[in-house]
Amino acid sequence: MADSTPQGQETLSNLLHESRSFPPPADLAAEANVKADAYEKADEDRLAFWEEQARLLQWEQPWDTVLDWNPPFAKWFVGGKLNASVNCLDRHVDAGLGDRTAINWEGEPGDSRSITYAELKDQVSQAANAITSLGVTKGDRVAIYMPMIPETVVAMLACARIGAVHMVIFGGFSSDAVGQRLDDSQAKLVITADGGYRRGKPSSLKPAIDEAVADRPTVENVLVVRRTGQEIEWNERDVWWHDVVDPASTEHTPEAHDAEDPLYIMYTSGTTAKPKGILHTTGGYLTQVNYTYSAVFDVKPETDVYWCAADIGWVTGHSYIVYGPLANAATIVMYEGTPDTPHKGRFWEIIEKYKVTIAYMAPTAIRTFMRWGEEIPAKFDLSSLRIIGSVGEPINPEAYIWYRENIGGGNTPVVDTWWQTETGAIMISPLPGVTSGKPGAAMRGVPGVVADVVNDEGKSISPGEGGGFLVIREPWPAMLRGIWGDEQRYKETYWSQFPGLYFAGDGAKKDEDGDLWLLGRVDDVMLVSGHNISTTEVESALVSHPKVAEAAVVGATDKVTGQAIVGFVILRGGEESVPDELLQELRNHVGGSLGPIAKPARLLAVPELPKTRSGKIMRRLLRDIAENRDVGDTSTLTDSTIMDVIAKQLPQKSS
């Protein structure tokens, strides 16, 4: 069997060509928070640049050393002390901004709440006092398994306030997945809710926690928010949120924490069965999310209304729903439910209702909206939008154009961002007042981040030369500080491929201008007749055909070519199979775009693709289907039943 990864291969094939480019609107460029000179300043003295950004925060004690770099271990702003909760709340209230709206919350059933900075500070202080009364102290781990409700933000900031380490677990994970994370972190407290609303009905959360904590004595209490009012079992360790948080004092004196004190653990899937607990600390992380939020989204906190449609159980929710926006004193929108409940225009209805000016969502969501049709967003007033962003997977050029035209009104900059759970903050992105955006390109490292593309020997690839491995050459403030409890795994996973360079598994290419294009995970690269072909490029070619709404491709073992490209497509109009004439048309379309080597051998029409709640397509599951294997773990999928539906499509084969 041919190896599906490009190890030992010099470069990925560079097939897709895109020539469209969109300069920033003149008025936005003139008033942009960050101008072109930021790149020069950062290049001249990177550490001084990051010190300048750190000074935008409130420190109780200044740092002695900017960076202590003992590869692959970094410490930033050593000796400095601050409190993340104070930086997100108290300092704004003290500056007279207490009446500014912090959170506009929209529940799926249509209920809503607006919370000011003063109110949020009081609620976080109450929660901090309540959590402390339950025996949680600095350094203890607190698991948060919650729906998208304001109490989730309150719980995170209360932990940050007292120095407890929060660990948010996506509310769709099974009890086994929760239990694994409780074991690894040795959490002392779990915060959950009776349930949340999803797809028009209450969705239970507490039963999974009951099962997960049953044999785990380290969990001393389960703090429960009443959201849906559904019946739940009540156990000895359980405590109602409204019984301990609501009556608690709004007075809470926060202590300053060391810049390198842990802020949170976020678990991400690994190649082994054991999830990886990515550790982020306080000072460097807050510095970079604070800066990148302002730089990439050009936020004017006095006037902007910002909505990130991610789940807080994902790192985007941590960095760009909670810490980045609130550190900037911004007004955010937070939505509990799904984009098609009670109708497929729900996202655009929310933008119209709150006059959202900045929206940030996943390419997979954008491609779903494309499939539903442009007539849906056309019914709503989206003229308030001035910047739109994407995050999660590389965005196909056609999805970028659709997003820009139908959601952004044809003149709104698209900021296509690349970053990871491990990086903590945005690493590669256009700057909306500086960059001429190219559909599908993440462009270049933000000021202060040194990103590069290298070949399999770790040597930098020249502009226009082709594809390779995306690496970060220098430490950055928000970088992970390790894998919780597993130093060796941290070294092996991120630093062993290219000595001294951070590599987390993504392929990329540099175009003739030196701008960066993400090519997806190298694990997903297909080796066809000796050519390494990126799934991203073939998927982009398929989606550019007018009859295809969305596509995912994988390499399946083939005796002749090593791997054959198998495509799973969602057709516009919802057809359930790919007719022979359309199959040939699509193969020729891909061949015309990328060359004959990239033609799919098989195409299957599917009603949906397997996606995680964070918007990533689970291609390994599609590979299982394509190679007629039993489908692997589906616990992280938004809808695990979709794999059964896809499996039924298998009888159709074409060459």
pLDDT in tens, 415-425: 999 999 999 99
Among 66-70, 220-224, 561-565, which is the least confidently predicted range? 561-565
Per-residue pLDDT tens for 446-475? Answer: 999 999 999 989 999 999 887 899 999 999
Tell me the CA end-to-end span of the chain in Å, nearest whole number: 20
pLDDT at site 613: 66
Model confidence pLDDT, tens digit, residues 199-257: 899 999 999 999 999 989 999 999 999 999 999 999 999 999 999 999 999 999 999 99
How much is the pLDDT for 38? 97
Confidence (pTM): 0.87
Q: Mean pLDDT, to the nearest integer, of 333-361?
A: 97
In the predicted structure, residue 293 carries a pLDDT above the cut 90:
yes
Per-residue pLDDT, 1:
28
Q: Are the beta carbons of 478 and 425 closer than 8 angstroms?
A: yes
Residue 287 reports pLDDT greater than 80: yes
Does residue 7 surpass a pLDDT of 70? no
H helices then E strands: how many in the chain?
21, 29
pLDDT at 2: 33
Per-residue pLDDT, 270: 57
At 155-168, the pLDDT tens digits run: 999 999 999 999 99
Q: What pLDDT score does 161 carry?
A: 98
**pLDDT at position 638, please?**
67
State yes or no: pLDDT of 599 exceeds 70. yes
- For residue 46, the surrounding DSSP H or E stretch is helix 46-54
Q: Is the dihedral of CA 504, 510, 515, 521 positive or negative?
A: negative
Confidence of residue 65 (pLDDT cuts 50, 70, 90): very high
Position 622 scores a pLDDT of 87
Q: Angle, to 10 degrees, between the axis of helix 283-297 and the axis of helix 46-54?
A: 90
**pLDDT at res. 5:** 38
In this prediction, residue 393 carries a pLDDT of 80
Residue-level pLDDT at 650 = 61
Question: Is the model's pLDDT at 517 over the cut of 70?
Answer: yes
Average confidence score pLDDT of the chain = 91
Percent of the chain with pLDDT over 90: 71
Instruction: Assess whether pLDDT exceeds 70 at residue 26.
Output: yes
> What value does the mean pLDDT take over residues 590-616?
83
Query: In which band, very low, low, confident or very high, does the pLDDT at 13 lie, cut at 50, 70 and 90?
Result: low
Give the confidence band of 131 by pLDDT, cuts at 50, 70, 90.
very high
Q: Which residues, 6+ apart, have CB-to-CB distance to 340 below 8 Å?
A: 199, 346
Say if residue 579 is preceded by a cis peptide, omega within 30 of 0.
no
